[in-house]
Structure 1
């Protein structure tokens, strides 16, 4: 709704239907690190995979600009559970808490490492209220979650963020420059943008590594990051338990070897002593031999 200087946010999806339901509430989004205007004018709710309007899915749910979205499994008819939904909000384009960098997302990191840049796009001019190169307004479809965005002046290709003008340039939004926000009655320049999206047919066209690193968003704590931290902790615990198990098994094997050696030594010692005993029994003592000789001499 450009005439009213309003822009749609990116689609948010921080939860899944899980055990209790799907919750994409405004409060939860803000706690996760996403920034949404304080009073959205409107909201759109749809399924993640098929993009069907939430109200047409036959589920009992809430989709409200003041609350956001939530669907509770226990509220559904017998045999039905909530689907996976996503939401986006309509906010003023120049709202103070506009999202400059969204929380870290693995899909965004994947696009940065294995992505292709679109062509430079310029659908609007600075006339009227400003220059609006929003992702959702291009006639050519742009991927839902671009990994990065580049904004520059059309005339001399100067980076938009170095022009000194007040504007927004984000992967989720695209570029928005409003004339009335510029100092001293200045008008916005004419800008163009391009987005980094997953490559079609396995093609790659990745910018230099330094450019990728500079465009990576900072890691923030949030709901989406918790599973990643949990997996890392569980992995470390698994490795530690594996090491302990290996040490214990090695100790058991070594102890068994020592016991076997002791048993063999004990058996050898017993055999030796028994042989000595047999030798002592079979060999008559010297006194017995002398007595026999004396008896023989008397008989003679």
Structure 2
């Protein structure tokens, strides 16, 4: 038996009774929250912060399936990302869909502080052996743990705070650096010092363009940092052909409460 909690929530002692509304004689055993709310009105809250699952005989259950079931509860929330598949099991000894990598590869498409994660194979199956995944780090499957086989090719998606999807709270454009030195550094930590109270400490998205307003980032420019958690940085030494970074400006999407407090 395992009890699973949303990251950041305290361990509360407010628990419902056990519910068993279905059995596996048909398509399977379906104990979805939406159906339990109908069958057992007023006996379960509409937004649970934890779930505990066991067989009716009290036998232990699969950890992976438990995780998948748990996070399916979160997907009643409206703010869900698209699916991401950045790796395959033929590289690096397995399939890793780590949050830090995905934030850099798909800037602005994933919140930096997801509430939940869902993982499936690209053929939409969920079975996995000794996989690890959670919303703060992402997903990882190692070929060495697959009993002589290899991991399937997985994709992931995230549940984000609702205001990440709906925020219309945008900062001004910031341009605190230019590429004449080592490069163009528009990191969030430096912007917070230069422009106090003009940018939130935990942005939910970042937008980058050149100071000339070009909507397309110049070809050949490679970025060492590009995500709402850390901001943006382009280093001259890393540019193809020995060129320099362009001069960039950035702006951020912030939680609605940041604009409301202004």
Query: Would you call these one fold, judging by a TM-score over 0.5?
Result: no
Higher Cα Rg: structure 1 or 2?
Answer: 1
- Report TM bin, short chain: 0.3 to 0.5
TM-score by length of 2: 0.37
